Structure 1
Amino acid sequence: MTPDTATHQTSPVPYGTPDTPRIAVRGEAHLEVDPEIARITITVTARGKDRRETLADLTRRNTLALDLVKTHGDAVEHLETSALTITPELGRHGRGERVRTHHGLVHITAELNDFTALGELTTALADLDLTRVDGPWWTLRPNSPSHRTARQEAVREAVQRAREYAEALDTTLTALVELADTGTEDTHPRVPQSTRALSRAAYGAAPTEDEPAPLDLEPQRQHVRAQVDARFTMAPPRL
């Protein structure tokens, strides 16, 4: 017997045999849970003929928006400025590069875990001049317990399904051969299909002396799915 022959005979068979039949199943789980965080984006704008005055105005509006967000304390999990731009606009007529006006933009991203505070903050921000609010984007944290729960339920379903097949053959499972995770999925994208945009300046609404009532935002339920592929061996059935 050659070494190659010995290796071939002792290597495990990648499929079932009459003495050790295998069964392959897929386990799936689908959970519908409440979101854990909500994300909004805030766009603060300023416009003026003088570059420094435009920048100063943008700085003031940006500080006002940031301070307003920070008043909600622990409800705000994350706050960052993602972009800042100051763009000169050239005149359409005349010779030379004459600047007609300057446009300033600051993009802010905030994540909140308190959805009551979210409604209050969104309303207050939208009431600011030259400020736009987009969102909310509802989502789960990457380490959310819902992902683990979905994976565990998928495994339990795979075992139950394999047992049912074995029972149909009047036999029992003997061992787990392989368990493959095909992925845990949050089916709601981070970017909503239709973005809710609020801006007093954008809609041309006149300012009011009374503070607007907070928006009643209904959280969007999150769908978490998990799948596993499992292979078992079972006692030889009597067919």
Structure 2
Amino acid sequence: MSDAPVISVRGEAVLEADPEIAHLSVYVQAEDDDRRATLERLTERNRRCLELVRSYGEAVERLETGALTITPVLRRRRREGEIRRYQGTVWIKITIGDLSVLGELVTRLGDLERTRVDGPEWALRPDSPVRAEAARQAVRQAVQRAHDYAEALGCRLTGMVELSDEGLGHGRPEPFEPVPVAYAAAVESADAEPEAISLEPAVQIVRAAVEARFTATQPQLITRGERAARTPSDS
């Protein structure tokens, strides 16, 4: 086993960036005394919502149905009784890549009958170059810190033993700052489109931290007093 000294350091980088995508959750609802009527209304409203979202083409990066429920509402809640009505909900999840259309889309979705919109939740893409740059800066800081320690000890780095994300195996989720916006429309159609709401993207904070271990030459552990004593006096 090598007896070379090891210098262990930590490197960190914190970057700010504009969001690249936005997530929306849309809940389309229907209610009626009849189960079939509830399902038909829900199907029609879901179709209109999906058609509206798809009309934005490539601006929408992902469109998927999260869940669908049809629930009977009983007249008596403490025991089984007659069904008073039926409620139906479809949850639609949307990822927007072109943020320039987001305000208009949110407004038009909110103008649909019995429709609730939650979001946007601003985010970076998983493969965002901002994340890669934060990792590079964290590594560079770790290397520089190791060099600084070695210089202070009077030695030099000779190799790297290990480099890993901080707390490997105990990762922390990337922080984000969601800005909630909710709408509930009571009118199914209108004579004119509503004015698009203005949305201000929330700045994304990207953090990267690494832990590194480097081997080094033997340090010159000489105190300032010892160094002065070894220096020949001027004649």
Shared fold, TM over 0.5: yes
Unaligned segments of structure 2, at least 5 residues:
223-235
| 1:19-57, Cα deviation, whole Å (9 max, x unpaired) | x32211111111111112111011111111122111111
Question: Residues 30-179 of structure 1: matches in 2 within 5 Å?
Answer: 30-92=14-76, 97-179=81-163
Shift of 1:186: 5.4
Aligned to 2:229: none
Structure 1 pair 117–165 and aligned structure 2 pair: CA distance change class (3 A): same
Percent identity, aligned pairs only?
49
Query: Is the Cα contact below 8 Å between 2:49 and 2:109 reproduced in 1?
Result: yes
Q: Which amino acid aligns with 1:199?
A: A
Q: How big is the shift at 1:139?
A: 1.3
- The answer to whether 1:188 aligns with 2:175 is yes
Following the alignment from structure 1 to structure 2, what is the Cα–Cα distance between the partners of residues 181 and 73? 38
1:198 match: 183
Q: What residue identity is the alignment partner of 2:219?
A: P
- Report SS of the residue matched to 1:200: coil
Deviation of the 1:98 alpha carbon: 2.5
Inter-partner Cα distance in structure 2 for 1:151 and 1:124: 39
CA distance in 2, matches of 1:232, 1:211: 63
Moved over 6 A (4+): none
The correspondence for 2:195, drawn from 206, 213, 217, is 213
Query: Are residue 230 (structure 1) and residue 217 (structure 2) matched?
Result: no
Q: Which 10-residue stretch deviates more, 37-46 or 137-146?
A: 137-146
CA–CA separation in structure 2 for the residues paired with 1:212 and 1:154: 46
Deviations 1:48-88 (A, max 9, x none): 11221111111111000000000000010110111111112
Q: CA deviation at 1:188?
A: 2.0
TM-score (norm 1): 0.82
Q: Within 1, Cα distance between the matches of 2:98 and 2:30?
A: 30
Q: Is the 8 A contact 1:139 1:188 kept in 2?
A: no
Aligned counterpart, 2:231: none
The alignment of Structure 1 onto Structure 2 pairs a total of residues equal to: 217
Are residues 112 and 34 of structure 1, via their aligned partners in 2, closer, same or farther at CA, if it must alter by over 3 Å? same
Q: Is the 8 A contact 2:176 2:204 kept in 1?
A: no
Relative distance call for 1:232 and 1:122 in structure 2 (3 A) is: same
Preserved CA contact (<8 Å) 1:186 1:223? no
CA contact (8 A) 1:89 1:99 kept: yes
Look up the equivalent residue of 1:198 and give its one-letter code: Y
